[in-house]
Amino acid sequence: MQNTSRQTKNYTLVQTDTRLELHQPNSGPIYIDFLAGRLAYRRKHSNGKHQALARAVGIKGRYRPQIIDATAGLGRDAFMLACLGCPIVLIERHPIIAALLADGLQRLYADHEASQGINMQLLNGDASEQLINATKQTPTDVIYLDPMFPSRQKSALVKKEMQLLHTLAGSEPSDVTELLTLSRQLAQKRVVVKRPKSADYLAKAKPTTSIKTASYRFDLYIN
């Protein structure tokens, strides 16, 4: 079976025998794999109920909120929450990133053992429009927003992936104020915004409270 590819600007989407990859000049391929590497480790050792992300979305005891990740990106945080038992809808506006996500999810669900208990659904399109449609169908406890920012992690892979996201989708949605306002209207319980630890509040809107880690924080807007 031969690889198939599609060129977009300086990037090429390549369908190999096993997965969809995004190739760029002078660099290795980027793809999403929930079955290997760090994501697989997190899935197998998903006992972090007291981690900052879990606390931020309100996981407590047996309670698992229904979540929408409106800025899904490469899906890492969404996958961590799904591994903890939260049903989650991912919204990704950029079609190339959404295609990589869809491929990663398809391969995840093809492995019935690995995907046991995982409930992730992907939507591609404008975040505001998809938020309105999704919350009409299913009341949503938590809306999660992670406007992209430069990663402080030192690994070459992380830097390459973050550079890709910034190149394709921009550093932050231009309608971020509208998106936060809409999210606060639609979330049944809270909106969670991931920010660099020293960054301004998103859209300069002061949160109800914040949960801080060494390099970033979660701002909570509680209804």
pLDDT in tens, 10-63: 788 999 999 999 988 777 888 999 998 777 776 666 655 558 999 999 999 999
Asked if the model's pLDDT at residue 169 lies above 60, the reply is no
The reported pTM is 0.86
SS3 string, 114-172, reads: CCCCCCEEEEECCHHHHHHHHHHHCCCCEEEECCCCCCCCCCHHHHHHHHHHHHHHCCC
- CA distances, 164 to each of 70, 110, 121, 122, 209 (Å): 19, 27, 23, 20, 31
Which pLDDT score is estimated for 121?
Answer: 97
pLDDT in tens, 90-115: 999 999 999 999 999 999 999 999 99
8 vs 12, residue with greater confidence: 12
41 vs 187, residue with greater confidence: 187
Residue in 100, 80, 83 with CA at minimum distance from that of residue 194? 80
β-strand 190-196 against 216-222: which pairing, if any?
antiparallel
Average pLDDT of the residues in 120-136: 96
Number of residues that make up the chain? 223
Exposure string over 90-124, b if 16+ CB within 10 A, otherwise e: bbbbbebbbbbbbbbbebbeeeeebbeebebebbb
Average pLDDT of the residues in 6-10: 58
Mean pLDDT of the chain: 86
